[in-house]
Chains A and B, each alone.
Chain A
Amino acid sequence: MSDKAKSIASKKTSGQDERLKEVSKLRLLLNRPELGAVGGAILVFIFFGIVAGDTGMFSAYGTLNFLDVSANLGIIAIAAAMLMIGGEFDLSIGSMIGFAGICIAIPAIYWGWPLWVSIIFAFAMAVLVGYFNGILVVRTGLPSFIVTLAMLFILRGATLAITRLITGRTQVPGLRVLIENDPIAWMFATDTFKWLFTWLGSMNLIALRTDGTPLATGIPPSVIWFIAATLFATWILMKTRYGNWIFASGGDKNGATNVGVPVGRVKISLFIGTAVAATIFATIQVLDAGSADTMRGNLKELEAIAAAVVGGCLLTGGYGSAIGAAFGALIFGTVSMGIFYTDVDTDWFKVFLGAMMLIAVVFNNYIRKRVTETK
């Protein structure tokens, strides 16, 4: 009798468990921050597949084009997303791109430094700027929005003033000849998987130039950096103690402090992260173009934040994902390039960007309510 009762009871509980698990798996998926961005990216690809499927947008060359644009944005968007999860903003990313550019170009061209020393110098400056941003925000308790807005002007102004002072103009060309044989420049300037594209070309699977070499020569370095940054950031957020501290610092600063999370250190390191990401962006761009321009990176900070928001980051911190930001960047990159393949006037791109962001914010707000609602 009691055995029977027990077996019924156990059946009941196990049955219940299974049912609940199914629900929670679905919920888990629905509650993932990157859901919106992944869905959005799929929609974007379907749209361009229909509208521009036969225009060459999805040829090897076209694909690499929009991937390159997405990847460049993605590198800074991921760092911006991590900082946003940590509860802060960095509006100085765009200015940092311009600043890092001339930090590479002026020493290399005007002071005769080896290119690799100039690149390391730029990264060192990035760490300094990020540290300064971070310590200012942490020490003063001022909103990072204000502190980094100030830094946006300071850096851009300094970039312009210093460049004009030293060079007499606002552009520094002539870097391309320095790339060859440089011990580290190749990391930012070399296309990879060239053999694959050569092979694909020889098999007549991808478009060729008139001289028989493939039109798309290899994966651009930005894409490699982008993929590496996405994986690295995701690993940090999901799998490390420091990642948990990032969520905690952004989710509830006081609570995190009370249980021993070094909130100040976490935030400072994230500001260094955005400045370093801006410098990676700048290095790739400067070496690709062969020149630095003081206006490089203008408004990029807002695009990075937009991509992070579309990727599911909450403006209030404590929630978001690197994968989401990566897909957010992919959406923007794909649309900004794809629009050339359609009959739509490219002026409409910014309208799309804004609308996308509005939809994302409304959607994120809904998700947050779902996640935090009391059952």
Chain B
Amino acid sequence: MSENLIEFNNISKFFGKVIALKDVTMKLKKGEIMCLLGDNGAGKSTLIKTLAGVHKPDEGEIVIEGKKTVFDSPKDALDMGIGTVYQDLALVPLMSVTRNFFMGREPLKGPPFLKTFDIEKANQIAAERMGQIGIDVRDPSQAVGTMSGGERQCLAISRAIYFGAKVLVLDEPTSALGVHQASMVLKYIVKAASQGLAVILITHNVHHAYPVGNSFTVLNRGKSLGTFNKKDISREELLGMMAGGEELDKLEVELKEMDRLSKN
């Protein structure tokens, strides 16, 4: 059991009478990518915030490397190696790559009380890290606003890894991206996992999740419909399990009906 890097056992979260999450269980090993699938309102956001230490679960336990853990704050989660990349990425477009990369965690140099932001070192690390992903930042002092959506996503992930994330929690990393950009981000996610990180990829896009995921957990209305290994489930089955599945079937029937009527 302890080979799991992180376990979420029977996590529940209530907001007043609303059951946001009920008995959600997930287990991840090093190097594994688990995709958390669910339609809007399935409880993805609540689960992310529970992972990130923003919410405390009302029931259930979080186990990291065999030890039961309680997060009192987002900082606790961060210190335990859970790096969450939110959908808004926490990047400031007007600030440079370097200044974004080290935002809130700037390297310092100099004597006590007169410590300054070691911008040379920061520039060097930022350029090096971005280079490793294959993003050539010609000038780490260029504004993040000049980067593409995929590059920004990669920057945010790279930052989480640099600051010691063992478990990456990615909130819809590909939702706003085109095909090319999305595949660039997914490639980077696979690379990160192959270096020993556990990745929780939250998405509602099965087509992005299926090629990269090792296992899939489907959330529907706050409940987990189970976790499936890739070999046990097909893309279509996954799609069907998400709330959208039945809806899509219904839509297809309706469209056929419209088609038939218009022909008559």
Q: Mark A60-81, 1 if CB is under 8 A from B, else 0.
A: 0000000000000000000000
Interface size class of A (residues with CB under 8 A): 20 to 34
Q: Mark A242-261, 1 if CB is under 8 A from B, else 0.
A: 01110110011011101111
Are the CB atoms of A375 and B146 closer together than 8 Å?
yes
CB distance from A25 to the nearest CB of B (A): 9
Are the CB atoms of B148 and A375 closer together than 8 Å?
yes
Are the CB atoms of A255 and B88 closer together than 8 Å?
yes
Determine if A209 is an interface residue (Cβ-Cβ < 8 Å). Answer: no
Are the CB atoms of B138 and A239 closer together than 8 Å?
no
Are the CB atoms of B119 and A251 closer together than 8 Å?
no
B window 92-140: CB within 8 A of A: 92-95, 99, 102-106, 108, 115-117, 119, 138-139
Which residues of chain A are within 8 angstroms of B93 by Cβ–Cβ distance?
251-252, 371-372
Determine if B141 is an interface residue (Cβ-Cβ < 8 Å). Answer: yes
Q: Contact check: which of A20, A254, A255, A374 meets B138 at CB < 8 Å?
A: A20
CB distance from B53 to the nearest CB of A (A): 12
B window 73-102: CB within 8 A of A: 74-75, 78, 86, 88-95, 99, 102
A window 296-322: CB within 8 A of B: 314, 318-319
CB distance from B145 to the nearest CB of A (A): 3
Are the CB atoms of A252 and B117 closer together than 8 Å?
no
Total interface residues on B, using CB and 8 Å?
33
Task: Report how far A324 CA is from B119 CA in the complex, Å.
Answer: 21
A248 with B105, Cβ < 8 A, contacts A28-B141, A371-B143, A374-B147 known: no
Q: Contact check: which of B88, B94, B99, B115 meets A372 at CB < 8 Å?
A: B94
B window 36-54: CB within 8 A of A: none
Which residues of chain A are within 8 angstroms of B95 by Cβ–Cβ distance?
244, 247-248, 251, 318
Determine if A368 is an interface residue (Cβ-Cβ < 8 Å). Answer: yes
Determine if A4 is an interface residue (Cβ-Cβ < 8 Å). Answer: no
Are the CB atoms of A372 and B139 closer together than 8 Å?
no
Q: Contact check: which of A24, A251, A261, A368 meets B104 at CB < 8 Å?
A: A261
Binding site for B on A (CB under 8 A): 17, 20-21, 24, 27-28, 31, 238-241, 243-245, 247-248, 251-252, 254-256, 258-261, 314, 318-319, 368, 371-375
Please list the 5 inter-chain residue pairs (A to B) with the smallest Cβ-Cβ separation, ordered nearest first. Answer: A372-B145, A251-B92, A255-B90, A260-B104, A259-B104
Binding site for A on B (CB under 8 A): 74-75, 78, 86, 88-95, 99, 102-106, 108, 115-117, 119, 138-139, 141-143, 145-149
